[in-house]
Amino acid sequence: MPKISTTAYLDQRPGTSGLRKKVAEFKQPHYLENFVQCILDAAGDVAGKTLVLGGDGRYLNAHAVQVILRICAGNGVGRVIVGRGGLLSTPAASHLIRVNQAHGGIILSASHNPGGPDADFGIKYNTANGGPAPESVTEDIYARSQRIDAYHCVETDDIDLDTLATSHLDRMVIEVVDPVDAYADLLKTLFDFDLIRSKLADGSLSVVFDAMNAITGPYATRLLVDELGAPKDAVLRGTPLPDFGGAHPDPNLVHAADMVARMTAADAPVLGAASDGDGDRNLIHGAGLYVTPSDSLAVIAANATLIKGYSAGIAGVARSMPTSRAVDRVAKALGLPAFETPTGWKFFSNLLDDGRITVCGEESFGTGSNHVREKDGLWAVMCWLNLLAVRGDSVRDILIDHWQTYGRDYYTRHDFEALDSDAANRLMQELESKVDTLVGSTWSGHRVLHADNFAYTDPVDGSESARQGIRVSFEGDARIVYRLSGTGTAGATLRVYIERAESHPERLLLDPQQVLADLIAVAGDLADIRGFTGRERADVIT
């Protein structure tokens, strides 16, 4: 196979969701090619095998798909299934890997990060189960990136990816597929489309969805408008754009402001929702009421048997460590196994593959089930539409009923973004150094009961993950968690999670920021956030 000499780049260590860098870095000579070759080498024998390829359509996506096809051909890959135009949402790519029994897949995305020539790009490898590569594979990719001196590549003109067709590149088959078809067919097996359609038609159910100029636009249009009959204007910002229209494709209350404004108006639809750059995250909003991702996960778990595809019950639940413990309370009441994992969907994938859980989620707007091995934004939206159609209640009514049954975990996340990396690391190191001395100490009247740096032993494969975030628990069923995010490309992001449980029936509808104000102050003092970072308050609060 054609062999091209190269020089290793030493900064290609994948994070929790692959390699994310600025576009300018990916455009360096051989930078992308090196990393793709290392992926293929770490993936094992790819000769004659099938791979899935696609991305969220952000700037550089189209070019990167062409490069990857040439390198796949140069490495003897047998077939590549690629979404038309090089597009695939992350959950749709996961499904295509699974349904085609592919060897794996290469997904191009920086998820909820901004896009454009001066913004972010990303690439990750998913294995045969459809889920993100485990640490053993990503570490192998990184190790190879440190010593690579050549890659294999077939020279050719760009391939036509806009036509649904099968073609050849050297001896490799390229199959261009509609990016939505297989995914839409999957969701039809999980949800009662007939019931939802009838409720939308009679006006008892209504929806608005913000696709944020990102990949879910075509998916939401097919599902909500074409299949379920919602009006065309139910999908906001539905055309994927390379720079997401200059917007930030992160489904939170700040960046989905237009949808949130609709949901706080007097004539608000029953359900508001949004998804992110690659379609794996979600925001759920009722009329005048935001649903935290933690509560959304708990509500879905508690009501799963009302949903067509889960009517026989669920095997168990899992949440990432920083996610609120709301779903734990559901699991305890229903007698279900519950798992607490580090942040990163790959940890859920092991539990899903082993049949230990059915539903799982992260506080960072990610929810999913065993239908794929990625979090899935539109799946979560469909869960809520199905529950609303079956129960005939409002989002507010469903939440109040849930809190009255299981109690409420008041919860908030405070993000301090683009911090000086050294300062952020010093903050975390100082916190870790005093973990053992915190128990028994009191902070503004709050006594510490437990403190640690979370470590996880995978119950399926025995792998260990240490130093996953500082946990501090207090009397009164409250806790604070500190983590440095692994998804950014500029500086460091400190995430601080504050939570307190409440079961008193007259204290279930209060403002979380007010309820948690004392603990928010403690969180700042305990870590000396102002002293280390100079920041008075968080950049984003959800």
Catalytic residues: 111
Of 243, 277, 250, nearest to 118 (Cα)? 243
Please give the full DSSP string across 234-289, using - where no structure is assigned.
GEES-S--TTGGGS----STTTTHHHHHHHTSTT--SEEEEE-TTS--EEEEETTE
Q: Six-digit token pair at 323?
A: 């996610």
Helix (H, G, I), strand (E, B) or coil at 407: coil
Contacts for 311 with CB less than 8 Å, ≥ 6 apart: 305
3-state secondary structure of 104: strand
Place of tokens 């990393």: 35
Q: Which two tokens stand for residue 214?
A: 């990102």
CA 103, CA 124: separation in Å to the nearest integer?
14
How many contiguous H segments (helices) and E segments (strands) does the chain have?
19, 27
Cβ atoms within 10 Å of 227's Cβ, excluding its own = 15
Q: How far apart are CA 514 and CA 429, in angstroms?
A: 30
* Measured distance CA(119)–CA(56) in Å, rounded: 14
Amino acid of residue 128: A
Query: Residue 358: which of 301, 415, 308, 406 has the closest Cα?
Result: 301
Q: Give the separation between CA 36 and CA 4, rounded to whole angstroms.
A: 13
DSSP character at residue 406: H
Check: CB of residue 152 under 8 Å from CB of residue 71: yes
DSSP 356-371: S-SEEEETTTEEEETT
Residue 106 Cα distances to 17, 83, 143, 390, 467, angstroms: 12, 12, 19, 38, 28
| Secondary structure E strands in 325-423 | 338-341, 359-362, 366-369, 408-419
Structure tokens at 535: 């920041």
Structure tokens at 217: 């636009």
Q: What is the DSSP string of 111-161?
A: TTS--STTSEEEEEEE-TTSSBPPHHHHHHHHHHHTT--EEE----PPP--
* CA pair distance 276, 270, nearest whole angstrom: 21
Q: How far from the centroid of its chain's Cα atoms is residue 171's Cα?
A: 35
Residue closest to 253 by CA, chosen among 462, 62, 415, 56: 415
What distance in Å separates the CA atoms of residue 327 and residue 443, rounded to the nearest whole number? 28
